[in-house]
Amino acid sequence: MRIIINDIKHSEFSELIKDPSLQQAIKFWGKDAYNEKSAIDLRLFDTPNGSISILYGPRQIGKTSSLKWFLTTVKDYDTLIYLDCSTYLEKQDLYNSLREQISGASTIVLDEVQSVPEWHLALRKLYSEGMLEKCRVWCTGSEARYLLESGERLPGRKGEGKVVFAKPWSFKRFLNLFYPKDVQQLQDINFLHINQKWLNDQNLDLSKQWQEYKLVGGIPQSIGEHFTTDAISDLTFTVYIDWILGTWSKLRTSERSLRKLASRICETLNSRVSYEALSKGTDIASPNTVKSLIEIQEDSFSLRICPKLDLHDKLSAPAKLKKVYPIDPFIALVWGLISDKILRNHQKNLPDLKLDEAAFFTQTYRYENQLDVSYLYSSKTKAEVDFYFKGCGFELKSKGKPTAAQNKLLAECNQQFVVKQEKLPIVAYLVGEE
């Protein structure tokens, strides 16, 4: 088998395993356990020849390390090719490199492929020349819009290939990996096949694990540090702080203004909000600038938008009042640290954020990234329900009961749950994707 890493031929996989992120993951879990605890389920990467697939998601989520580890497990292929595309300046360079290296049945990984302008044209040309007939290609990236728009113009991707969202670990995966005995009674249950009475009858206490998940989130690095050292390092927090602030560097906005916007995002967490409302208390005068700043973070996956759905009008309204959630509870804490300008001892100075909704929102992510979650709103009664997902309404209650108007809105859903604090971890587990 020919192994080619960044245009250099190797005789064994050791060069792939030298990747610092992969070394760190192996240090956390060991080589034998990493197949199970890789950041992304390795089974997703098993695609047929002639396919071009896309893997995208947040930075530092484990896309590269998972794919490199997958390459070390590949058998029955003539050639393995891994290219860090940030080193290529033009699509012609990418085309030339691949054309020279492809030989026989090949598995190809193009990492951070969006770094190459019009990268898809290089693959289209190779495809039209028949060079990819015996190849399976995986393209990775961290900027959603450009990567997916370019990917739509790729030949052979639909049907045979996959588009996979490298999402944070769900609470379900977290529990199945670290507390499997605690959730044995839940493992074969589909939330679409239960009702409120079933939920009310459950006595399973997962509150401790839920609190733990709200600290480490579904981020492999923070999870690994927590379980091996009982702490999350300042370096890990700093990496994510720099990632979020660095993503905003495309717009010439002062760091002071950006931190104030981060503060507004944290203050309005769990609330319906407009771009104009987010700009209040900051020195960013234009709501359009706030919109651009939020969209940049959406594209890099530090934030996700939960749009409004009015069941009476049968309309989803992503452009109007929306909820803005960090993609993951750990990332929410990072946003709070940015807001508070905490520079060291991060874990001892974590912000006091109400993260139940944000953590529950994370459970609606799917590898296919069909984001069909919203919050419900009635234009007639002005009632609101926290989440609507797969035809099911969820109203999360830390105390008290839903109003009559909320109950009426819930009754219009195919299925509905009023989720009290002690039952929230159970529902979160059932909603999440392994």
Of 165, 187, 218, the position where a domain reaches its end is 165
Same domain, 356 and 219: yes
Question: In which residue ranges of the chain is pLDDT below 50?
Answer: 158-159
Residue numbers of the domain that contains 132: 2-165
Tell me, what DSSP letter sits at residue 273?
Answer: B
Same domain, 27 and 101: yes
Same domain, 377 and 363: yes
Same domain, 156 and 217: no
Residues 232, 238, 239, 243, CA torsion sign: positive
Three-state SS string over 285-346 comes to CCHHHHHHHHHHHHHCCCEEEECEEECCCCEEECCCCEEEEECCHHHHHHHHHHHHCCCCCH
CB 16 within 8 A of CB 74: no
Strand 106-111 to strand 79-84: parallel, antiparallel, or no bridges (unpaired)?
A: parallel
Of 165, 193, 221, the position where a domain reaches its end is 165
Does residue 19 sit in helix, strand or coil?
Answer: coil
Same domain, 179 and 60: no
pLDDT attached to residue 311 = 76
Same domain, 140 and 102: yes
Same domain, 73 and 186: no
Tell me, what DSSP letter sits at residue 142?
Answer: S
Same domain, 119 and 175: no
CB 347 within 8 A of CB 237: yes
Same domain, 141 and 206: no
Of 121, 148, 165, the position where a domain reaches its end is 165
Number of folded domains in the chain?
A: 2
Same domain, 256 and 371: yes
Same domain, 144 and 260: no
Strand partners, 140: 55
147: CB partners within 8 A, 6+ apart: 54, 56, 113, 114, 139, 141
Report the CATH number at residue 32. 3.40.50.300
Give the DSSP letter string of 21-68: HHHHHHHHH-HHHHHHHSSS-GGGG---TTEEEEEE--TTSSHHHHHH
Token digits for 41? 């389920």
Same domain, 184 and 81: no
pLDDT attached to residue 235 = 95
pLDDT attached to residue 310 = 86
